[in-house]
């Protein structure tokens, strides 16, 4: 979970570099960052309680399940 969290952090740092130079980008960041922080806090709390919440959910558009559980 730490590694995925670092991935989200890296994505947001990259977004910040690109968006800070324009007004719509700054608006996007100021609206998005609190949600990302809240999600990270919730994941951390749940992880401490023994429930793993993935950072990313990958959806497949296949008509049948392609997992081999």
Confidence of residue 9 (pLDDT cuts 50, 70, 90): confident
Specify whether the CB–CB gap between 43 and 5 falls below 8 A: yes
4, pLDDT greater than 80: no
Q: Alpha-carbon dihedral of residues 59, 64, 68, 69, nearest 10 degrees? A: 80
When pLDDT is averaged across residues 1-22 and rounded to a whole number, the result is 79
When pLDDT is averaged across residues 27-44 and rounded to a whole number, the result is 88
The per-residue pLDDT for range 40-51, each reduced to its tens digit, is 889 889 989 999
The per-residue pLDDT for range 52-65, each reduced to its tens digit, is 888 777 776 777 77
């Amino acid at each position: 979970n730490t590694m995925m969290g670092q991935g989200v952090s890296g994505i947001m740092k990259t977004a910040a570099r690109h968006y800070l130079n324009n007004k719509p980008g700054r608006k996007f960041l100021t609206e998005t960052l609190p949600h990302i922080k809240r999600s990270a806090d919730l994941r951390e709390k749940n992880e401490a309680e023994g429930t793993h919440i993935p950072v990313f959910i990958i959806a497949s558009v296949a008509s049948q399940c392609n997992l081999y559980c």
